[in-house]
Structure 1
Amino acid sequence: MDRQPIPPGKHDQRVTKLSNRAHQCTSQAVVVNNNIALLAYSIAKRAYIIIKQEVVSDNFELSNFSVPNTLRIVLLGKTGSGKSSLANTIIGKEDFKVQCSTKIEATCCQTATRYFEKRRLTLTDTPGFFHPRWSEQQLKDEVVRCVSENTPGPHVFLIVLKVEKFTAQESQIIKKIEEYFSPDVFNYSVVVFTYGDQLEQMKIEEFVSKNNHLKDVLKKCGGRCHVVDNRHWKSNQQDEYRSNQFQVKQLINTIQLMVTQRPGDCYTMNMLKEWQRQQAVANIFECLKKFTRKKFVRIFFSVTVIVGVIVVWKRMTERTTAII
């Protein structure tokens, strides 16, 4: 049987349907290809992130066994001890204001940076203890704030003392440092004496050996101490010891040795928060202790205890009678 010829209209419709179908298949193929490409890109991106994290982790672990590129240093001491001048001596320029404003303002916390033998030193100068314009609480809050800005924490505290008689005020400074930051702070501390010209022909170790209080302070700090003279030891002296350049280099070497001996370690903010929590608990117990010292409170507690004993005794007697 002969095929019937396809009318022209139906032929065009079939061609159109086939064309549309081909177009849909092409579009679907493009979508699939795009999805495959996106999937491949996502996998590659994820692999890159994982590899990068592993590399960073490896680098971090390696850095824990070497001296970090940045050493964070915080200076602590009383007003007039030469802290700011010492900071300028270490930094090698007059970045720190030697005289803070008499107004109570946050500018008394000063920070500057220098590079020493391809290593970055970040120094933070704190307000001096016994500052005439600061209350005890204001001083504590500001000193703690200065330290908190050195995240994740300072590598070393420089406790600045003058080469002079160690008085009750210097003892109070050491106690306040411990009160602010816990006894562990001395594991991260170096004592730096200023006004070294007062030593005359002595070395700082000989000066310290003549004072039992100073020996105790240095013992807490692992025997680490250095001396400078911000005014008289700037130029080359007859002997190398009485040179700020020599003493600063020795100080940096001491800090680097401390960091090397405790890889990746510093006085962290978590340590500070834990110490503040312990202090808060201790303060609560101290308040309760003072409260219970009052006569009427002692009487109240005594009566409460006696009543409690009587009640317990009666209940035990009733139970015994019921059993019998």
Structure 2
Amino acid sequence: MGGISIDDDWEFTSSSSNEVRTIVLVGRTGYGKSATGNTILGRKVFKSRASSSGVSITCELGTAELDDGLLVNVIDTPGLFDLSSGEYGPEYVRKEIIKCMDLAKDGIHAVILVLSVRTRFTEEQETILKTLQSLFGSKIVDYMIVVFTGGDDLEETEESLEDYLGRECPKALEEILGLCENRVVLFDNKTKDEGKRSGQVQELLSFVNIVLSQNGGRPYTNELFELFTELKKRAKELHKQQRKFDSLKEEYSEEAILEFEKQMQQTYDDQLKRITEMVESKLSEVTMKLKQQLDEEQAARLEAEEKAMLAQRRSDEEIRRLRENLEKAHEELRKQSEGRCAIL
């Protein structure tokens, strides 16, 4: 299955007494996830594909302390849950999902689905939500907030987000907004106005607080996260015990120390294997369902195109026959007219 690296310095709570909010950015590549993360953090932490050839293709964590002392952790995912793009293979996605959980040290307080007003909402974007639900459970939508990037474009046309959604909101998007109870924010990631940037971030964080309140103040968790937390506890305990034995080597035989370390390592490995197998199973299930869905949609589109082409051919044939009949009728009228002229 391949090894998975998990940071040894992982902690279960922040070392600071400050409140913490950890949010995960998801969405298609090129829609402004990294730029949105930078706007939230108030500085450039993540590289944007549009602006740098050195853009990262792995989950990254950026942290900032706001003026009120709130610690904000932002996890940027590189199109991780957009399985429909085929950009990343299952092995890569599996490792990155585990890395994402590893970076979410305090749990996930909100999932930000990043969309763009510059691009029409498509069925491929809808699959991102389906992938999230399949991997992390249907309850993940209770923690979801939608951010639309491209606020500067709407400002130029003097449109509000409500105006945009009034003319560009297909049924699938309406359903997503309904699932997240219309928690939606417009971001202008190009603004140089600090007041405007701060206002956008505060609006987003107010939705994060609403999400937390509606979920009993608890960050999102499910079986995968619980197993992962237990794994981290095992790893931490293993390191503690190793340090303890290192300091008490004179009281224990080398054989006893090696046996204990072997047992602890085996427990850790077994837990890691369970998590890996769960992620692989979920990912395989999601990939199969997505492939089936895309195949069905493609078949439906091809069938619709064939029907349209057949209808067009029938229409063209009907028009041709009507034109021929009309020409024949004109020809008969012409002959009749010539015959009357000859008699006269």
Counterpart for residue 71 of structure 2: 120
Structural mapping, 1:1-324, within 5 Å: 69-99=19-49, 108-116=58-66, 117-128=68-79, 129=82, 133-163=87-117, 164-199=119-154, 200-210=157-167, 211=169, 212-231=171-190, 233-235=191-193, 243-270=196-223, 272=225, 280=281
CA displacement at 1:97 relative to structure 2:
1.8
- 2:137 touches 2:222 (CA, 8 Å); kept in 1? no
The more displaced of 212-221 and 264-273 is: 264-273
The residue type equivalent to 2:160 in the other structure is K
Q: Alignment partner of 1:108: what SS?
A: coil
- 1:74 touches 1:147 (CA, 8 Å); kept in 2? no
Structure 1 residue ranges without an equivalent (≥5): 1-59, 61-67, 287-324
- 1:86 touches 1:230 (CA, 8 Å); kept in 2? yes
The residue type equivalent to 2:210 in the other structure is L
Cα distance per residue 1:251-308 (max 9 Å; x no partner)? 111112222333331112536569986995995xx9xxxxxxxxxxxxxxxxxxxxxx
TM-score (norm 1): 0.56
- 1:227 touches 1:247 (CA, 8 Å); kept in 2? yes
Q: Alignment partner of 2:112: what SS?
A: strand
The more displaced of 69-78 and 172-181 is: 172-181
- 2:41 touches 2:64 (CA, 8 Å); kept in 1? yes
CA displacement at 1:118 relative to structure 2:
1.2
The residue type equivalent to 1:255 in the other structure is V
Cα distance per residue 1:134-180 (max 9 Å; x no partner)? 22452354134313431342110111111131112212222222222
Cα distance per residue 1:104-130 (max 9 Å; x no partner)? 98x621111111221111111112136
Aligned CA RMSD, in angstroms, stands at: 3.6
Structure 1's 153 and 168: CA in aligned 2 closer, same or farther, altered over 3 A? same
Which 4+ stretches in 1 moved above 4 angstroms? 100-105, 130-133, 271-283
Inter-partner Cα distance in structure 2 for 1:167 and 1:137: 26
The more displaced of 90-99 and 198-207 is: 198-207
Structure 1's 94 and 262: CA in aligned 2 closer, same or farther, altered over 3 A? same
The residue type equivalent to 2:100 in the other structure is C
Structure 2 residue ranges without an equivalent (≥5): 1-12, 228-274, 289-344
Inter-partner Cα distance in structure 2 for 1:104 and 1:203: 31
Identity percentage of aligned residues: 27
Inter-partner Cα distance in structure 1 for 2:129 and 2:92: 18
Cα distance per residue 1:221-249 (max 9 Å; x no partner)? 12101011212x3337xxx8xx3332111
Q: Alignment partner of 1:122: what SS?
A: strand
Structure 1's 80 and 104: CA in aligned 2 closer, same or farther, altered over 3 A? closer
CA displacement at 1:209 relative to structure 2:
3.9
Structure 1's 222 and 277: CA in aligned 2 closer, same or farther, altered over 3 A? farther
- 1:140 touches 1:180 (CA, 8 Å); kept in 2? no
